[in-house]
Amino acid sequence: MSHDHIISGNGHPESDHARPRAFVSYAHESEDHRADVLAFCEFLASGGVDVRLDRWHLEARRDWQLWATRQILDADFVIVVASEQCRAVGDGARATDANLGLRSEMRLLRELYHADPETWTRRVLPVVLPGHAVTEIPLFLQPRTADHFMVTSLTPAGADDLLRILFGRPSLRPPCHAPLRAR
């Protein structure tokens, strides 16, 4: 399979990097938000990310909690899309009969964070889409003390920081360390 279409964080195609798999967790809070998340996922998929989005798997009846658990555990990354409802569910501030799927995902992510914070801090990527704010990231994802990813537009430049992480491409590389010569 050719990966010529994969876009790195700097907007340049990559031909030698495997497709990262990303599960996308989000609140189904409004049609506008659902449309924004869908457009974001289509952007990532067109750039070479193997996106796992619930709306692309509606072809059969399924146990959604089991499906989401498998997706989270098998993914290279879990993208949590920030929103008011996401924050409320992630922080346990929503009624117990609302947002059941997201609540299950947030519980699992909290458990994984607690069991292995080093691994899951690297794998879970809080994303803030246009029109949303850092304050909409659930507290357990450390909105102010760990990295989060502001997507300013659905372009390689607008999602540069996120794409660099997904494809393992640093924005800067350390200089070559050549031995110093005495004069």
pLDDT digits (tens, 9 = 90+) for 65-120: 899 999 999 999 999 999 999 999 999 886 667 788 899 999 999 999 999 999 99
Output the pLDDT for position 170. Answer: 79
Rounded distance between C-alpha atoms, residue 141 and residue 43, angstroms: 24
Output the pLDDT for position 57. Answer: 79
The total of structural domains in the chain comes to 1
The enclosing domain of 79 has a CATH number of 3.40.50.11530
The number of beta carbons lying within 10 Å of the beta carbon of residue 92 is 14
Asked if residue 71 belongs to a domain, the reply is: yes
Question: Could you give the dihedral angle defined by the CA atoms of residues 98, 24, 156 and 170, in that order, rounded to the nearest 10 degrees?
Answer: 120
Output the pLDDT for position 86. Answer: 95
Asked if residue 2 belongs to a domain, the reply is: no
Asked if residue 182 belongs to a domain, the reply is: no
Asked if residue 178 belongs to a domain, the reply is: no
Q: Are 103 and 56 in contact (CB under 8 A)?
A: no
Rounded distance between C-alpha atoms, residue 118 and residue 124, angstroms: 11
Asked if residue 138 belongs to a domain, the reply is: yes
| Helices 100-115, 64-74: inter-axial angle, 10-degree rounding | 40
Asked if residue 26 belongs to a domain, the reply is: yes
Asked if residue 27 belongs to a domain, the reply is: yes
Asked if residue 5 belongs to a domain, the reply is: no
The number of beta carbons lying within 10 Å of the beta carbon of residue 28 is 15
Q: Are 134 and 148 in contact (CB under 8 A)?
A: yes
Domain that holds residue 87: 17-167
Rounded distance between C-alpha atoms, residue 9 and residue 27, angstroms: 26
Pairing of strands 6-7, 13-14: antiparallel
Rounded percentage of the chain residues whose pLDDT exceeds 90 = 69
